[in-house]
């Protein structure tokens, strides 16, 4: 089951700022690009980008815009399937 969220206008704007930033890290730009790609779509975030997004959210040096893009990307990860009962 996937979530039906997509990146909103404010978050897309923040992601754009990250992509244009000269000081943003490679991981921050990767996550921002993922968030931008999910604007107006029902695409989901992959495991690699989700992992990077989690690290960005815990990084005290990450910008507000990078954290916004990371949160958006994490909110669009596929839901876990419930374990089957035996």
Kindly indicate the confidence band of residue 1, based on its pLDDT and cuts at 50, 70 and 90. Answer: very low
Q: How many domains does the chain have?
A: 1
Kindly indicate the confidence band of residue 82, based on its pLDDT and cuts at 50, 70 and 90. Answer: low
Give the pLDDT score at 2.
45
Q: What is the mean pLDDT of the chain?
A: 87
What length is written for the chain?
86
Asked if residue 81 is part of any domain, the answer here is no
Q: What is the mean pLDDT of residues 63-75?
A: 93
Kindly indicate the confidence band of residue 85, based on its pLDDT and cuts at 50, 70 and 90. Answer: low
Asked if residue 63 is part of any domain, the answer here is yes
Helical H segments across 4-78, by residue range: 9-20, 26-37, 47-58, 64-75
Asked if residue 83 is part of any domain, the answer here is no
Asked if residue 33 is part of any domain, the answer here is yes
pLDDT digits (tens, 9 = 90+) for 32-51: 999 998 888 888 889 999 99
Asked if residue 30 is part of any domain, the answer here is yes
Look up the domain containing 67 and give its range. 9-75
Residue 44 in 3-state DSSP?
coil
Asked if residue 1 is part of any domain, the answer here is no
pLDDT digits (tens, 9 = 90+) for 3-25: 557 788 898 999 999 999 999 99
């Amino acid at each position: 089951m996937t979530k039906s969220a997509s990146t909103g206008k404010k978050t897309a704007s923040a992601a754009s700022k990250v992509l244009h930033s000269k000081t943003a890290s490679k991981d921050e730009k990767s996550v921002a690009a993922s968030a931008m790609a999910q604007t107006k779509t029902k695409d989901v975030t992959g495991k690699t980008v989700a992992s990077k997004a989690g690290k960005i959210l815990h990084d005290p040096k990450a910008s507000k815009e990078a954290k916004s893009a990371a949160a958006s990307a994490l909110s669009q990860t596929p839901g876990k399937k419930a374990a089957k009962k035996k």
